[in-house]
Amino acid sequence: YVQPGASVEGAVAGLWRKIGHPALSDLRIVEAPVELEDGYPNPLPDLFYGEDLILFGRYRGHGAGELVLEGRRAGRSHRFTFDG
């Protein structure tokens, strides 16, 4: 959204800088302590600097454990583990 009176060129340039260099791309959940179903968004979107990643879904089973997320940054694969 561009505010009235604001520079359209500046807004487009800012958007281009943002989407041209995601913090992580090709995101996927590779391990979870429960069986995941009906996840949204699917597929997972790229993650950009300064933004949150919010996931919704259903799961089957119960239990605690680690959730492992993988993605790519600057052409290299990265793995992140979250305790749950």
At 61, is the secondary structure helix, strand, or coil?
A: coil
15-31: pLDDT as tens digits:
888 888 899 999 999 99
pLDDT band, very low/low/confident/very high, at 76 (cuts 50, 70, 90) = very high
pTM listed for this prediction: 0.73
pLDDT band, very low/low/confident/very high, at 34 (cuts 50, 70, 90) = very high
Q: What is the pLDDT of residue 50?
A: 85
35-52: pLDDT as tens digits:
999 899 999 999 998 889
Report the candidate in 31, 28, 40, 29 with the shortest Cα–Cα distance to residue 63: 31
pLDDT at 68 over 80: yes
Tokens 């089973």 found at: 61
Strand 66-73 versus strand 35-40 pairing type: unpaired
- Which strand (E) or helix (H) includes residue 13? helix 8-20
Token reading at 5? 């009176």
